[in-house]
Structures are given as structure tokens and as C-alpha cells.
Amino acid sequence: MTVHDGFSPALLLRNPHLMTLIPRYWLRPGWNERLPSSERLFTIQAGTQLLGLCDWQNTPTNAPTALLVHGLEGSADSHYMRGMAAKAFSAGFNIIRMNQRTCGGTDHLTPTLYNCGLSNDYLAIIRELRERDGLSHIWLVGYSMGGNLVLKAAGELQRSEAALGGVVAVSPNIDPTQCVAALEEPRNWLYHAHFLSSLKARMQRKAALFPGHWNLSPLRSMKTITQFDDTYTARDGGYRDASDYYNRAGARHVLSEISVPTLIITAQDDPFIPASIFDTTGISHNRHIALAMLQHGGHCGFFQQRRYGEDRFWAENRIIEWISSQVSLT
């Protein structure tokens, strides 16, 4: 099912690059007022833990829970994670902002790297929240790479996890092969340079924390993310090479298996998530998936003109509305 809402891009932000970048630096009222988050470590496997920042309602078991997953080289403190968390908490949700493996200053919590196929990490967290905390209405919300992860988790679960209420994915890279190819195009040099530099710095931190585990000799000569993933990410994740990793890690393979309410928000002008990847029967023939494909929005931008009673962050507002409407139906 395809859904549309009256999204009107802010003045001058029909340019997809401005739409992508401006929201990152836009000051919000009360931006420095942090939620009173408590830290929680989730043990995924021996030697690997993920750090979540949690904000609980007074009676957590009576409230729905939003588990937020960030994108490539983001963290629990990324601007979109904090903005979404504040709104969802005000709307009555428990909030868990997850750091993916090694992210948000958690390199020491695992010798492994993170990748866009590690959906099992979030399946383990959902199980723990159900069994240990008694939570029964958990909603996964993922951005970019995190969007791929939450869709992949939902497809793999099908209906086997009663605690999973549904999924929202914003600008998800459901076909990493095509998304990385787009990211490495010359027009996207700024994003590519940023991500590659950040990934290289992460590898240097990991090598310092886990001596003898990583060979840094190829790092200096790497010019692309594909080269980085081929040398480090893929092999650490158990894939043959980058091509194998990109092919197997995409949520596109399991979209048809998703059996919970799911909303995908993306834009035709996303600089490095091609709109064509969403033209698949896994979405169009799945009655559980609603696709909001907007003409403008950039990558995780969706920064709107002034709208009565709302701030500029259109996607955050629609996510709260949509999940709340689904919760009221259960």
C-alpha cells in the first residue's frame, strides 16, 4: 500500500543535499534539555554488549515502547534519535535509543564491528524486553542502515514474536548493493568522504582496544567504502567479501515475510537511496506494509514548511501519529 501526506518541503529545500544536511544543524527549542535517560547494557553474545539509553514511563508495562536504531556512523545521540525520542516520550512511549555495536563510544563493548545484516542483535533485545521487563508492545524505528536492520528483523520474525507491535523505517537501505554504488558516485563525494573518514578512525580505535585483532596496514590506501567493507566489515561479519555482504544483508529478501504493521518513509530525491529499490512486490503485494514515497525529503531529512501546531520535522510527527493509530487498533 502506498500512502501520501501533505509534505511541503521548507523554502529552498527542494535541493536534496540541503534537505539532507540542514535538519542536522537546525536548533530545536529545548535542544539542550536531555531526557533523563538511564543506561542499560544488552548482552547479545559472549563478549558483545550493546548500550541502550532508556526513558521509562511511570508504569512501563502499560505503555508502548519505541526502540530506535540509528544509521551508518550515527549513535543514540544523533539528532534524529534525540528528536524522535523526545516526541515519542511526550506521547506516552517508553524509549530505548540503541547504539549499534561499537557506536556511540562503545567500541570497548565488543571486538566485532557493526553491519547492516545484524538483525539478530535486535531480536535478542526484543526477547529480553519481553522476558525480563514484561513489555508486550514494542515498536522498532530505524533510520537508513537502522531502517534496513529493523525491516530485516521483522521479516525474519514473521509472527513468531508476539511482543513486536510493528516497524517504521526511514530512508532504509534495503538493497545495500545499489545504495553503496549510489553513495560512491562523484555527486555524493561529501557524504562518502565523511563516512569513510569516520569508519577509518573507528578502525584505529578498535585496533588500539584489541591489540593483534586488526591489521591496519591496508587502511591508509583505502579510497572507497566498498574497499573498507571488503577488507573489514564483510569478513568480520562472516561474509565472503563486500559483494556477498551487500547482497545477503539487505532486507529486500524478507520484505514479503513481514507480518506486522510497517511504515516505510523515503524520498524520490534521496541522494544515495535509489527510489527504484522500493518498486518490489515484497512491498506492493504485502498488505502489512505502507510506503510513503515522497517527491522531496532527501536522506532522513523531511524538513517541512511551517505547519500549524507542528515543528519542522515532518517524519517524526507522522511516525508518532501512525504508531499511535496502530496502537489504538490493538
Q: Where are the domains of the chain?
A: 16-175+250-329
Locate all alpha helices (DSSP H) within 251-312, ordered by sequence.
281-284
* 143 pLDDT more than 80: yes
Average of per-residue pLDDT across 169-197 = 98
Query: For the domain 16-175+250-329, what is the CATH superfamily, name and number?
Result: Alpha/Beta hydrolase fold, catalytic domain (3.40.50.1820)
What ranges make up the beta strands (E) of the chain?
A: 38-45, 48-55, 65-69, 94-98, 138-143, 164-170, 262-267, 289-294
Q: Render pLDDT for 240-250 as a digit per residue (tens, 0 to 9).
A: 999 999 999 99
* 162 pLDDT more than 60: yes
* 33 pLDDT more than 90: no
Average pLDDT, the chain: 94
Residue 23 is placed in which grid cell?
535538519
281: enclosing H helix or E strand: helix 281-284
Confidence of residue 159 (pLDDT cuts 50, 70, 90): confident
For the chain, how many residues are written?
Answer: 330
Rounded CA separation 282/262 (Å): 12
Nearest to 83 by CA among 314, 316, 306: 316
Contact 194/200 with Cβ under 8 angstroms? no
Range of lowest pLDDT (17-31, 151-165, 250-264, 278-292): 17-31
* 135 pLDDT more than 80: yes
Q: Render pLDDT for 204-238 as a digit per residue (tens, 0 to 9).
A: 999 999 999 999 999 999 999 999 999 999 999 99
Cα 135 to its chain centre, rounded Å, is 21
Confidence of residue 99 (pLDDT cuts 50, 70, 90): very high
* 270 pLDDT more than 80: yes
Average of per-residue pLDDT across 67-95 = 95
Partners of residue 164 on adjacent β-strands = 138
Residue 166 is placed in which grid cell?
510493528
Rounded CA separation 14/110 (Å): 41
Q: Render pLDDT for 283-320 as a digit per residue (tens, 0 to 9).
A: 999 999 999 999 999 999 999 988 878 889 999 999 99
Sign of CA dihedral 21, 25, 29, 33: positive
pLDDT score recorded for residue 129:
98
* 180 pLDDT more than 80: yes
pLDDT score recorded for residue 30:
60
Q: What is the pTM of this model?
A: 0.95
Fill in the DSSP letter of residue 255. Answer: G
* 5 pLDDT more than 80: no
* 66 pLDDT more than 60: yes
pLDDT score recorded for residue 297:
95
CA angle, 7 as apex, 272 and 65 as ends, to 5°? 80
pLDDT score recorded for residue 309:
83
pLDDT score recorded for residue 4:
56
Higher pLDDT, 37 or 64: 64
Fill in the DSSP letter of residue 75. Answer: -
Sign of CA dihedral 318, 319, 320, 326: positive
Fill in the DSSP letter of residue 93. Answer: -
Q: Render pLDDT for 106-120 as a digit per residue (tens, 0 to 9).
A: 999 999 999 999 999
